[in-house]
Amino acid sequence: MEKEVLPLIIVGGGPAGLTAGIYSCRFGIKSLLIAPFGGGLAASVDRIENFPGFPEEINGMDLVNRMREQAEKFGLEIVNGQVSQIGVEGGLFRVIGDDHYLSRAIIIATGAEPKQLGVPGEEKFRGKGVSYCATCDGPFFKGKKVTVVGGGDSALQEALYLSQIAQEVILVHRREQFRGSSYLGEKVRANPKITLRLNSVITEIRGEERVREISIKATDTGKVERISSDGVFIYAGIKPNSEIVKELVELDPQGAIITDEQMRTSHEGIFACGDVRASDFRQVVTACADGAVAARSAYLFLNPEK
């Protein structure tokens, strides 16, 4: 028997997708959200200091769980699953995962995943000392020496978090100045447990069963040295999770979905929001704003007379 045609399906369960769900339900749209349980990159952050309304900070997973609870309160149906394909047939969208669904409109809020450095030893020791989530794996390195790679907000936040657990944190960044906020940069520079290795890059990760050593190359002199490290936490940017719609919508060179200010993509009826969307500023608060705008645009698409 053919599936019911839903007005709207939201793919992705982070702040952008959940906010889109909250607003779409408030607009009176029967909406289904499909996403693996987890809450996206935001859920992996130990402390979020800059989300309005939480002056005492909040754990990323706690914030996402509150959003999920609020979305369900407004009537959003949430299915735990992974979408593998989205196709178009007869003017409708067919969403395929563990099950298949039909809808008249789609909001893509699939977020992004961490980029790899691509250095020898990174893949070999993934899960054996190489990590992309300090909140997830930091407790395994209590009292040990760890390395954080990157200079953006995520790297700075996680270096500060790890400094509460590890004996020493080495922060490796290819430039002299951080890309992250000056507030976080000042906190990192003032932290006695964080050792800065600026104008430097990691060229190799080594060990036996687990990570034991890294090679660092100075970008100005070319000098390479080997230092001990029990773990390497990598924050080298993010890769948008746009694979399921790459044949349907226009992407930028980095693979992010191009939208207008109303979150409309190049394909009518498909909207995008959050980290999967082309943007030069990615924060939880902007993801939420994107989600609200995408929901409104979906509502206007489904109700052109409004």
**Residues annotated catalytic, as ranges:** 133, 136-137
Two structure tokens written together for 251: 């992407």
Chain centroid to CA 295: 20
Two structure tokens written together for 157: 């936040």
SS (H, E, C) 181-203: CHHHHHHHHHCCCEEEEECEEEE
User: Are 284 and 51 a contacting pair, CB within 8 Å?
Assistant: yes
d(CA 129, CA 13): 28
* Residue 3: DSSP 8-state: P
Sort 83 into a burial class: Cβ within 10 Å, 0-12 / 13-18 / 19+: buried
